Structure 1
Amino acid sequence: MTVTIKGRGIVPGHAEGEALVSHETISGWGGIDPATGTVIERRHPLFGVCFTGKVLVFPGAKGSSGWSGFFQSTRLYGTAPLAMVIGKLSTKSALGAVVTRVPTLSELDADPLDVVRTGDWVVVDADRGLLTVGEQR
């Protein structure tokens, strides 16, 4: 069974892959290691988990304006997520998505954290503003 929800494309493009879901905001500066694409914030539920090659689904950014720079570094290192689905868009997360240059959706008709589970196969069509969620592969 698949579910499709409508959202707003923030960065255009199309990507599909396995979802990695965080129910907590992610800190860029000090919260991720851009060289490895790994969450390094010790108290974060995804501590030690790599988001490289995954569709990162998360509620939003936390921390300083350095957030976008750290996510841009993941693009430069080749460790960026395939795409991002952001529950609540902020200037930090929007700029981070733009400089990371991965398809990004936000402002969805349904809370993506209620719809997507880690391991689900998702299709991010930011050109059309659609998120399609399939069952785990």
Structure 2
Amino acid sequence: MKKLVFRQAMGARVRGEALVAHDGFSARYDLDRTAGKFSRPTHKLAGQSYAGKILVLDTAKGGVASAWMLREMAARGVVPLALVFNSVNPILVQGAAFADITMLAGFDGDITANVPHRAVVEIDPQKRLLRLL
């Protein structure tokens, strides 16, 4: 089991399958929020379902619209289990908190290069731990 430590964390302890890509994340422009899939054709996860998955991506994009869209997705039950980024902006952090989505950021290296696509991972924000199972 590989353990990865990070500096920024919030949310509940979760375990699930990771969708990994060195790409950005915008709830507004990258997702079909009704179908629960990545919809932007040029996104590296295009066509894949994000619902109930741990998303491991390079950076968060977008502003206020992305933040409230996370809450809308959570209300519909079509939401990622967790969001894991190399870097994140304060607005998306606020949106994840509002939607009760676990979020991590601030790794020493590129997190997208350290978690294999479709790996099962466990995240414990209180212990500052992301573990590959």
Same topology, TM > 0.5: yes
- Aligned letter for 2:21? S
Residue 116 of structure 2 aligns with which residue?
117
Equivalent residue, structure 1, for 2:32? 33
> 1:81 corresponds to which residue?
80
**Alpha-carbon distance in 1 for matches of 2:99, 2:9:** 12
What residue is the counterpart of 2:69 in the other structure?
Answer: 70
8 A Cα contact 1:104 1:124, kept in partner: no
**How many Å apart are 1:131 and its aligned residue?**
0.6
Query: Hey, what does 2:126 align to over in structure 1?
Result: 127
> Residue 9 of structure 1: CA displacement?
4.3
Structure 1: give runs of 5+ residues left out of the alignment: none
2:55 maps to a residue whose letter is L
Which residue identity does 2:118 align to in structure 1?
G
Contact 2:61 2:89 in 1 (8 A): no
1:4 maps to which residue? Answer: 3
Q: CA deviation at 1:7?
A: 1.1
Check whether the contact 2:2–2:132 (CA below 8 A) recurs between aligned residues. yes
Map 1:48-59 → 2, pairs under 5 A: 48-59=47-58
Where do 5+ consecutive residues of structure 2 fail to align?
none
- Does the 8 Å contact 1:6/1:130 carry over to 2? yes
Q: TM-score, normalised by structure 1?
A: 0.87
What is the count of residue pairs matched by the alignment? 133
Deviation at 1:22, TM superposition (A): 2.1
In 2, Cα distance between equivalents of 1:7 and 1:70: 26
Q: What amino acid does structure 2 have at the position aligned with 1:16? A: R
The question of whether the paired residues in 2 share the 8 Å contact of 1:10 and 1:94 is answered with no
Residue equivalent to 1:14? 13
Identity %: 26
Q: What is the CA-CA distance between 1:88 and the residue it aligns to?
A: 0.4
- Compute the RMSD of aligned alpha carbons: 1.5
CA contact (8 A) 1:27 1:63 kept: yes
Q: Deviations over 1:36-94 (max 9, x none)?
A: 22111122121111111111111122234311122221101101111111110212331
Q: Which residue number in structure 1 is paired with residue 45 of structure 2?
A: 46
Name which of structure 1's ranges 103-112 and 47-56 shifts more when overlaid on structure 2.
103-112
